[in-house]
Amino acid sequence: MTSKIRKFNYLFLITLFLVSFLKTNAQNGAALYQQNCAQCHGADLKGGNATSLIDGIWQFGAEDGYLFRNIKFGIAHLGMPSYEKVLEDTEIREIMKYIRESEKKVGAEKPPIAKMLETLDYDVNVEIFAEGLEVPWAIDFIDATTALITERPGRLRVVTNGKLQTEPVKNIPKVLNEGQGGLLDVAIDPDYYENGWIYLAYSHVLEHIIEGKRPPAMTRLERGKIKNNTWTDSEIIFEAPHETYRTTRHHYGCRIVFDPAGYLYFTIGDRGTSEHAQDFTRPNGKVHRINKDGSIPETNPFIDEEAAIKSIFSLGNRNIQGMAIHPKTGQLWVTEHGPMGGDELNLIKAGKNYGWPVITYGLNYNGTVITDLTHKPGLEQPILYWKPSTAVCGLDYYSGDLFKKWKNKLLVGALKYEEVRLLDIENNRVMHQEIIVKGQGRVRDVSTGPNGAIYVVLNKPGTVLRLTPKTD
């Protein structure tokens, strides 16, 4: 037998093996689905006791990572069992592949944005305020006719009289657009009409690095003004010590709010190094408080600690991406991404430790235990925790007049569950929760506009919604 014939036969056998292997995997996926999933989701995947898997709607996370964890660990409070002890990871992935292929066969597509939503108190009109955005992250309003929207890749967009301007604001600071980093929050100074300041939070990378090494990065804050659609008069108001920068690309935070006294609060996530959240010589895993010009308030809780970063206001916070000031009390409320399970609603107080990673209600994403502790003396308990995680993101106390029954209730967004919840809080207790938006897209931010409408930023599909009550 010649070498050419031997090579042909070898390649032919390999091809047969791969075809057989792929067919077996497809068959395994279908068979495993019928054995484990069909009784609830239907033999044809169109639903039964549980939802359809081929209608383009994913209530509990559309990405493969969410789907995998939902199958492996279940959604116990909704009656979906875990399959961790029944299926191997490879078998779960075969089921996922079968589901995805079935979606493609029927041409499943996510339904269009709803034009009307029903809630307990109102029928709500839904309008598209802005669309065609690339990963929008935050929204704030200069006045009733002008809004600013950040796009994570590093653009600041302007909406004027309901129209998204074609040209982004020029001369915006350079951001590190990798992983979860980029241009994050935007906030308008409470005294904007007197001083014109606008505040940005973004991931900043150090460029003076060793060649071939991944450059370290950290959350940075800057303020400036917009003149002739150009960012001018910029001032860096917070930059962490460069030795504390991290080469990871996730958990940057960052939200910005102002309290009635004029203090500026912002957050930095743990940057993937959880133990730093307990170390007040590190900026990550903290809530920070500064004056609007970047100086440190003399009443900050760690001002007299020689080694501490003086801007720290609280510690033990994993990754806060929702912040709001209560309109009446001036209290600082936050929502914090937990690991798998254990998203938290926290009331932040000066110098308090919120426990991460010493205590948590969550697990690692692979299902392993982070800690057996959910309580420990000296560590704060959340006002509320979500288990499983909804991926809380974006927070605002409703302060307008259009939805009068919702005055001073808390709007809570969620990425994974694609929802906005309305929380009724009395005496620092959550008395009631209602889902008022569901399945329209991944909610990155939610905000009350100056006209009383509610604005919902969806980073997928790159759209901002405007909610108003329906009138007869």
Cite the active site residues. Answer: 251
> Which residues, at least 6 apart from 342, have a Cβ–Cβ distance to it below 8 Å?
360, 361, 362, 363, 385, 386, 387, 389
User: CA-CA distance, 340 to 354, in Å (whole number)?
Assistant: 17
Termini Cα distance of the chain: 86
198-205: strand order across its sheet = 183-188, 198-205, 217-227, 230-239
Whether 178 and 249 have beta carbons less than 8 Å apart is answered as yes
Give which of 354, 368, 283, 372 is closest to 318, Cα–Cα. 354
